[in-house]
Amino acid sequence: MNPLVREGIDTTKRAVVSLVDDRDGVSLAEETVEFGLDGITYETNLTVGNARELRNTVAHWAQHARKISAYN
């Protein structure tokens, strides 16, 4: 038996997972964004600013496209 447990000392550990922005590799990511192109779905962790930039870029192209779903 672990002697620390026997003496009533708390030995609990906590693992903290931090997501890093996949674009800059430095900032803490604040959201996970999913998008698709050419039949491939992608997922990326981004800061709010980088997620906004991605959405704005895709919106430029999406305004000239048709929406589809997998269940047509």
In three-state secondary structure terms, 30 is coil
Q: For the chain, what percent of residues have pLDDT higher than 90?
A: 71
Phi/psi of residue 40, each to 5°? -115, 130
70, part of any domain:
no
Give the pLDDT confidence of 37-52 residue by residue, as tens digits. 999 999 999 999 999 9
53, part of any domain:
yes
pTM for the full predicted model: 0.72
Alpha helices in 1-72 (DSSP H): 3-6, 48-62
Q: Tell me which residue range forms the domain holding 11.
A: 3-62
38, part of any domain:
yes
What is the b/e burial string over 12-50, where b = at least 16 CB atoms within 10 angstroms of the residue's CB? eeeeeeeeebbbeeebebeeebeeeeeeeeeebbbbeeb
Number of compact structural domains in the chain: 1
Query: Rg of the chain over CA atoms, in angstroms?
Result: 21
23, part of any domain:
yes
Predicted pLDDT at 55: 98
CATH of the domain at 47: 3.30.60.230
